[in-house]
């Protein structure tokens, strides 16, 4: 891309190393571009002023790597981090590729598989700590079912919780500065997965031994696969103080996991996600989890377009927030006259309840208030399309 880069490291963009390591293979066809190694992926991202990378244990250290080779890979990655300035922002465990996890990892029926999964996660956590990653992601890729009669979902959640509790205690015991992040997904690769949305994950986190140690990284494409609202999916953990990371991408609703670049499908929706993060001062990393089109020869245009899209949308958010017509319409909408209400709705007390009971309302009159949604939505569309 000839254009001057719009992003800076301080934007805190990250990419999964696996996004650029994706070589274009899909369930129907072979790879279409060369396979990058983990260190090469990190180097390529670092050279493009990306703030951070996220990684699975096996993106850097394949299963079965002897300890000396592992340490040599880590030295190489640290060197790349030093020379390019990129940081390791989040680690995670690959608990889905190996056939041992064909029926789940933490939720497998087989206690030996569960133990292997927890052992693998412990080693992944060590790796993440060694590289300085402050977030550790749990995406339950194989935690689900095709045959519900064969796996009790209550028991499965209990097993998931046992694993998370064990690993939280491990992190505390090691003295690592790390928070866990659950990444929800409704389906794919399993027919149905546990912890399908941010709401499921938040409810589950509240049941952990150390709920303060865990948050959520919603992924836009995941919730769209279920036909749900991406802005709401991000808002729920944000409002709960639990948004510890985010996976940005795009997806047409109700389809297979397309993992398209941020903004590629629905720019208005992408704009509203950026607006949410920016209006509420989200300070964590903004990670892109998608992959280049299979037709690409290398992943670098893909990397640049995702960050460029975010920055262009961010500039639009400033336009939206300072647009006099839009601001005036929103103020009219949200600044309803509450004279006489006082603090009656702020909290329950017998006094407030008595006051509320005695109030007179005229619902027909209240219903007369104009709600300029057509104009508001149109104004947003106009700003997005670059109209004056
Ligand atoms: C997917 C997921 C993964 C996870 C990754 C880290 O649908 O494949 O989004 O890419 O984000 O495994 O948890
Ligand atoms: Mn993801």
Of 243, 147, 120, 141, give the one whose Cα is nearest residue 184.
141
Higher pLDDT, 2 or 188: 188
Distance 21 CA to ligand 2 centre (A): 14
- To which residue do tokens 């300085």 refer? 132
Distance 19 CA to ligand 1 centre (A): 9
**CB of 142 closer than 6 angstroms to any ligand 1 atom:** no
* Rounded Cα distance, 136 and 89, in Å: 9
User: At residue 288, what are phi and psi to the nearest 5 degrees?
Assistant: -95, 125
What would the mean pLDDT of 85-109 be, rounded to a whole number? Answer: 98
Is residue 192 pLDDT above 70, yes or no? yes
- Which of 17, 53, 91, 141 has most ligand 1 atoms within 8 Å of CB, for mutation? 141
What would the mean pLDDT of 35-50 be, rounded to a whole number? Answer: 98
Residue having the nearest C-alpha atom to atom 2 of ligand 1: 139
What would the mean pLDDT of 217-231 be, rounded to a whole number? Answer: 98
At 299 the pLDDT is: 98
Q: Is 59 a catalytic residue?
A: yes
Residue having the nearest C-alpha atom to atom 10 of ligand 1: 289
- To which residue do tokens 């608990």 refer? 95
Distance 258 CA to ligand 2 centre (A): 12
- To which residue do tokens 């990058």 refer? 36
**CB of 89 closer than 6 angstroms to any ligand 1 atom:** no
Is residue 381 pLDDT above 60, yes or no? yes
* Residues 237 and 200 sit within 8 Å (Cβ to Cβ): no
Residue having the nearest C-alpha atom to atom 1 of ligand 1: 141
At 268 the pLDDT is: 98
pLDDT band at 339 (very low <50, low <70, confident <90, very high): confident
Q: For 9-322, which CATH superfamily applies? A: Divalent-metal-dependent TIM barrel enzymes (3.20.20.150)
Q: What is the pLDDT of residues 262-281, one digit of tens each?
A: 999 999 999 999 999 999 99
User: Which tokens belong to 147?
Assistant: 């045959």
Is residue 13 pLDDT above 60, yes or no? yes
Arithmetic mean of pLDDT over the chain: 97
Element (H, E) at 9: none
Distance 3 CA to ligand 1 centre (A): 30
Which ligand has the shortest distance to the CA of 248?
Answer: 2
At 231 the pLDDT is: 98
Which residue in the list 49, 57, 59, 259 is annotated as catalytic? 59
Is residue 1 pLDDT above 60, yes or no? no
At 335 the pLDDT is: 77
* Rounded Cα distance, 82 and 317, in Å: 34
* Rounded Cα distance, 165 and 191, in Å: 26
Q: Is 291 exposed, middle or buried (0-12, 13-18, 19+ CB in 10 A)?
A: buried
**CB of 143 closer than 6 angstroms to any ligand 1 atom:** no
At 2 the pLDDT is: 56
- Which of 22, 125, 136, 183 has most ligand 1 atoms within 8 Å of CB, for mutation? 183
Residue having the nearest C-alpha atom to atom 9 of ligand 1: 289
**CB of 245 closer than 6 angstroms to any ligand 1 atom:** no
* Residues 218 and 245 sit within 8 Å (Cβ to Cβ): no
Report the half-sphere exposure of 230 (CA within 13 A, side-chain side). 30
* Residues 378 and 324 sit within 8 Å (Cβ to Cβ): no
Residue 281 CB partners (closer than 8 Å, separation 6+):
none
pLDDT band at 336 (very low <50, low <70, confident <90, very high): confident
**CB of 187 closer than 6 angstroms to any ligand 1 atom:** no
Residues in a beta bridge with 91: 55, 136
**CB of 136 closer than 6 angstroms to any ligand 1 atom:** no
Q: What is the pLDDT of residues 125-155, one digit of tens each?
A: 999 999 999 999 999 999 999 999 999 999 9
pLDDT band at 342 (very low <50, low <70, confident <90, very high): confident
At 334 the pLDDT is: 86
DSSP letters, 278-326, are: HHTT--S-EEE-----TT-SSSHHHHHHHHHHHHHHHHHHHHHHH-HHH
CA distances to 37, 43, 133, 203 from 6, in Å: 27, 20, 26, 38
What pTM, to 2 d.p., does this model score? Answer: 0.97
Domain boundaries, the chain: 9-322, 324-384
Q: Is 40 a catalytic residue?
A: no
Which ligand has the shortest distance to the CA of 187?
Answer: 1
DSSP letters, 62-103, are: -TT--HHHHHHHHHHHHHHHHHH--EEEEEE---SSSGGGTT
What would the mean pLDDT of 175-198 be, rounded to a whole number? Answer: 98
Is residue 3 pLDDT above 80, yes or no? no
Which ligand has the shortest distance to the CA of 56?
Answer: 1
At 347 the pLDDT is: 93
């Amino acid at each position: 891309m000839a254009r001057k880069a719009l992003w800076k490291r301080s934007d805190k963009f990250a990419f999964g190393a696996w996004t650029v390591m994706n070589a274009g293979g899909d369930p129907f066809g072979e790879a279409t571009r060369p396979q990058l190694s983990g260190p090469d992926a990190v180097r390529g991202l670092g050279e493009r002023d990306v703030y951070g990378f996220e990684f699975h244990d096996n993106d850097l250290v394949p299963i079965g790597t002897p300890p000396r080779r592992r340490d040599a890979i880590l030295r190489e990655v640290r060197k790349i981090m030093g020379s390019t300035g990129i940081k390791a922002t989040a680690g995670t465990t690959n608990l889905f590729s190996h056939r041992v996890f064909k029926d789940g990892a933490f939720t497998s029926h087989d206690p030996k598989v569960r133990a292997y999964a927890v052992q693998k996660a412990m080693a992944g956590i060590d790796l993440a700590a060694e590289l300085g990653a402050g977030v550790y992601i749990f995406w339950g890729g194989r935690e689900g079912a095709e045959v519900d009669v064969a796996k009790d979902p209550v028991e499965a959640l209990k097993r998931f919780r046992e694993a998370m509790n064990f690993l939280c205690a491990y992190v505390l015991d090691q003295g690592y500065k790390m928070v866990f992040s659950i990444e929800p997904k409704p389906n794919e690769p399993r027919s149905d997965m546990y912890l399908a949305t941010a709401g499921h994950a938040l409810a589950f986190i509240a049941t952990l031994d150390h709920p303060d140690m865990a948050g959520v990284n919603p992924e836009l494409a995941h919730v769209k696969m279920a036909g749900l609202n991406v802005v709401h999916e991000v808002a729920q953990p944000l409002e709960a103080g639990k948004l510890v990371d985010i996976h940005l991408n795009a997806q047409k609703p109700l389809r297979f996991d397309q993992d398209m670049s941020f903004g590629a499908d629905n720019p208005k929706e992408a704009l509203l996600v950026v607006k949410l993060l920016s209006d509420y001062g989200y300070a964590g990393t903004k990670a892109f989890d998608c992959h280049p089109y299979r037709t690409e020869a290398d992943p670098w245009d893909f990397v640049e377009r995702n960050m460029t899209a975010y920055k262009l949308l961010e500039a639009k958010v400033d336009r939206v927030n300072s647009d006099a017509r839009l601001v005036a319409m929103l103020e009219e909408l949200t600044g309803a006259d509450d004279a006489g209400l006082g603090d009656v709705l702020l909290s329950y007390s017998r006094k407030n309840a008595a006051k509320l009971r005695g109030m007179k309302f005229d619902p027909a009159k209240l219903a007369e208030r104009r709600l300029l949604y057509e104009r508001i939505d149109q104004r947003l569309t106009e700003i997005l399309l670059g109209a004056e």
